[in-house]
Amino acid sequence: MDVQRETDAANPSKGDGCGRAFGLRTLLLLVGVCAAVAWSVRVARDAAVPSYRWLHLLAEGDAEQRREAASNLGEVEGAIGATIRPRVAQALAVALADPDAEVAVAAARSLAPVIQAEPDDDAARGWSTALATGLRDPRVEVRRASAVGLGIPAPGKSSAAASDALAAALDDPDEEARAAVATALGRAGTGPRGIEALAKALMHDPATAVREASARSLALYPEGRDAATLALLRGLASDRPRARSESLTALLRRRTDRRGPSAAIVPALIATTSDADPAARACAASALGDVGPGAVAAVPALVARLGDPDGPSEADRQAWPEMRHRPWGPAVQAAEALARIAPGTPREAEAASALIAAIDATPYDPPRRFAFALALSNFSPPFAREAVRPLAGLLKENNPSRNDLRGPDWDGVCEILGRLAPGSPAEAEAVDALVQAMEYHRSYTSIQAADALGRMGPRAAASALPRLRAMRGLASESAPTLPSHVESAIRSIERGMASDSP
């Protein structure tokens, strides 16, 4: 033992070396275990949340792997949580500059649904700004994909910077890219630059597809209703037929969407009601109607249009096929606008008197006569009752089942007569027309006519009782509930007669 201790004392480094060797092996073992654990965690995480795997491949994979990763990040976006979404957006934004064009295109396509899925609009707008950088890429396919992507998210998720970038990109040398940009502005546009760029493209772009997309986007533009409306009215003056037809379609679609202008442009619209183009006059009248009572100053200008003989041209009918089934033109649109502007204003009597005179002046023009009477029915009762006689006459003269007068809402006419005719001078005429309409049809119009007769009151509707009783039990495939409505009308009239008896 003493010999051993002396030997160890003579060689003090021997024990320390063994300790260091043991410590190094332990450290290496621990590092290996940690790496294995980390790898296992990563594999488990990637299996549970595929986006982590795609993020890794997008950053470190080869070109084919990056393409697959960029595409898949857009497809799985809806399944990932808010925690990773910023990382996904950032990675895709970086990938827009990838040297492989297919990777950059896939990144642009995938970033759009990421923006759409983001509930925080501020964050979404920031990412839309990042996506807009692709509009300046030297590769045309990347610019196209970026423009298409910017048009996907809902309005409110695109930034002003993205909108301005789109507006600037309407000068892109590639026609397909410009068309995609114009389309995107209809959803992502904000501020005046987008409208100005679209208006310029509508009038001057050499490509039909770009002009058409510009007109559609002006109709849909989330902001600047006034400027967009005026731009589309100017588009009607284009010497390019397709630009004109798309402007007309966009104006009519904008009205259908109830995206009307404000009272601020009433003076400009009033001026347009005197335009040489009938379509421009008609669209200006419609736009004034969309403003509502705030456009009361336009009543004289609209009254002046009631005598316009012009209807839509054949080209305009092709642009908006609905014109084939209903009256349309400066006079009809002016009448409809008066009905939306004048009631309840100091100019109501002026407008109503003009409509009554217009009805009397068009005895041989049923479509126009119908439009004027229908507009008048929206006025206050003393004026609206003047519409009963012409509407009853049209309902009686034009058998709806034969479609003699195409377009009118005969169901609505029956409802109007039931509301306005009781107590009016033309009450008896309305009853006769309603009975005839009920017999013409075995459809919803018959039901509305029966309901209207039930509201007419016993004195007026008593003459209809024999014909109503004869229709008891009559039904058709298109009006299976007609008998119950007839029965209800009979009971209503009979109750009224009983209460009137001494």
284: nearest Cα among 313, 258, 261, 317: 261
pLDDT at 426: 92
Q: Is 452 left (phi over 0), alpha (psi -120 to 50) or beta?
A: alpha
Enter the tokens of residue 189.
Answer: 């546009």
Residue matched to tokens 């109007």: 416
CB of 190 closer than 8 Å to CB of 160: yes
pLDDT in tens, the chain (502 residues): 454 544 454 455 455 555 555 566 665 555 554 554 444 444 444 443 578 889 999 999 999 999 999 999 887 555 556 778 899 999 999 999 999 999 999 999 999 999 988 889 999 999 999 999 999 999 999 999 999 999 998 778 999 999 999 999 999 999 999 999 999 999 898 889 999 999 999 999 999 999 999 999 998 888 888 999 999 999 998 888 888 888 888 888 776 555 678 999 999 999 999 999 999 999 999 999 999 999 999 999 999 999 998 777 777 777 666 666 677 899 999 999 999 999 999 999 999 999 999 999 987 788 888 899 999 999 999 999 999 999 999 888 776 555 555 556 788 889 999 999 988 899 999 999 998 887 765 577 888 888 998 888 777 778 888 888 887 766 565 567 778 888 888 888 888 776 655 5
Name the packing angle between helices 175-188 and 192-204 (round to 10°): 140
pLDDT at 391: 93
pTM higher than the cut 0.85: no
In the chain, DSSP finds a helix count (H) and a strand count (E) of 29, 0
The CATH number that domain 26-149 falls under is 1.25.10.10
The amino acid occupying position 390 is P
Contact criterion met (CB below 8 Å) for 247 and 236: yes
Using alpha carbons, list the distances in angstroms from residue 91 to 69, 143, 439: 10, 18, 70
- pLDDT for res 44: 42
pLDDT of residue 312: 72
Q: Would you say the CATH fold of 188-259 matches that of 26-149? A: yes
pLDDT of residue 45: 40
What are the CA-CA distances from residue 164 to residues 116, 136, 147, 157, 197 (Å)?
19, 12, 12, 14, 9
Q: What is the pLDDT of residue 41?
A: 42
What 3-state DSSP class applies to 476? strand
Q: What is the Cα–Cα distance from 181 to 148, expressed in whole angstroms?
A: 7
Can you give the pLDDT at residue 139? 97
| Domain boundaries of the chain, sorted by first residue | 26-149, 188-259
Tokens read off for 264: 């601020």
CATH class of 188-259: mainly alpha
